[in-house]
Amino acid sequence: MPELPEAEFGRRMAAEAAVGRQIVAVRCQPDPIVFCGRAPEDIERALLQRTVVAACRRGKYIWFELDRGPHPVFHFGMTGAFRVRGVDPLKLASHGKQVDDAWPPRFEKIGMAFDDGGELVMTNARRLGRIRLVERPLSEPPLVDLGFDPLTDMPSLPAFRGLVAGRTAVLKSLLLDQRFSAGVGNWIADEVLYQAGIDPRRRVSSLDTGELKRLHARLRGVVRQAVAVDARKDRFPRSWLFHYRWGKGADARDHGGSPIEFVEIGGRTTAWVPARQR
């Protein structure tokens, strides 16, 4: 369930459970894919007895800064999440699927127990998530080349204009490019363009001043609002396209009754409303 808001929700959960605590036990599955070839013992050795100093995030990447390196980096892929024992998870996925309350949860990849009795788990059903160890926290030398984070690092409108200047990419693809805006995923990109009233197939170079301003405002706005409600879909405003795009039937319509179209852009299904986006 990971785009920026879900990752931020996970980070906060983890921060509350882990920061200031010492890791006293680690349970790590032998999964060379999710752990990028690392053996469970490597991971356990790196985490055991360490104190978590901070839980950080940039885009969809979350990492713990420990009192001593290396530091763990988490990426949820398509289906990852953090769970804290006794704390409500994000119950509603986009399609309204329920998360069960079993402990340890299904699809656990790593579990950590802390000196205060708390427990944190990362789950990952589809195994497209990754857990790595890095020598330095990613604050400076990035694990990957990430652009601005729309929650914590949203550029001013003039700076945004500068970032876009000279680029010719199709808008939907640009928003999805993590080197441009880190943390934006498929539904956020569509939501931003819907609220900005811009056709997702257009090129960024074709936007006039007003359109660029709307794009900037809605990118910031959508992300902030989603984070403000802890990524709970049932608390997203009813006017958001998000609520109406999943049925995907020929009869799909937005809040105002306008038909929703589906096209593939950059290999991803894109929902948009021709009546409202030019």
Partner DNA sequence: CTCAGTGTTCAGTG
Partner DNA sequence: TCACTGAACACTGA
Q: Which of 37, 140, 165, 168 binds DNA (CB under 7 A)?
A: 168
Q: How many residues bind DNA (CB under 7 A)?
A: 36
Range 178-217, binding DNA (CB under 7 A): 178, 185-187, 203
259 is catalytic: no
Exposure string for 212-244, b = 16+ CB within 10 A, e = fewer: bebbbebbbbbbeebbeeebebeebeeebbbbb
261 is catalytic: no
Residue with Cβ nearer DNA (176 or 215): 176
Whether the CB-CB separation of 47 and 137 falls below 8 Å is answered with: no
Span of 18-26, 39-47, 64-72, 90-98 interacting with DNA by CB under 7 A: 90-98
Distance between start and end Cα atoms, the chain: 30
Least Å distance, CB 132 to DNA, is: 10
97 is catalytic: no
CA atoms within 13 A on the CB side of 56: 18
Q: Could you tell me which residues come within 8 angstroms of residue 252 by beta carbon, excluding any fewer than 6 positions away?
A: 244, 245, 259, 260, 262, 271
**Burial class of residue 66 in the structure, from the number of CB atoms within 10 Å of its CB (0-12 exposed, 13-18 middle, 19+ buried):** buried
For residue 270, give the 3-state DSSP assignment.
strand
Q: Which of 94, 139, 206, 239 binds DNA (CB under 7 A)?
A: 94
Selecting among 5, 6, 60, 72, the annotated active-site residue is 60
Whether the CB-CB separation of 72 and 224 falls below 8 Å is answered with: no
Least Å distance, CB 97 to DNA, is: 5
- Is residue 159 close enough to count as binding DNA by CB under 7 A? no
- Is residue 170 close enough to count as binding DNA by CB under 7 A? yes
Q: Could you tell me which residues come within 8 angstroms of residue 210 by beta carbon, excluding any fewer than 6 positions away?
A: none
Range 55-74, binding DNA (CB under 7 A): 59-60
- Is residue 33 close enough to count as binding DNA by CB under 7 A? yes
Residue with Cβ nearer DNA (166 or 257): 166
Least Å distance, CB 111 to DNA, is: 18
Does the CA dihedral 101-106-107-111 come out positive or negative?
positive
- Is residue 137 close enough to count as binding DNA by CB under 7 A? no
Q: Which of 19, 53, 84, 93 binds DNA (CB under 7 A)?
A: 93
Residues of this chain that bind DNA (CB under 7 A): 1-3, 6, 33, 59-60, 75, 77-78, 93-95, 97, 125-128, 144, 167-170, 173-174, 176, 178, 185-187, 203, 248, 266-269
Positions marked catalytic: 2-3, 60
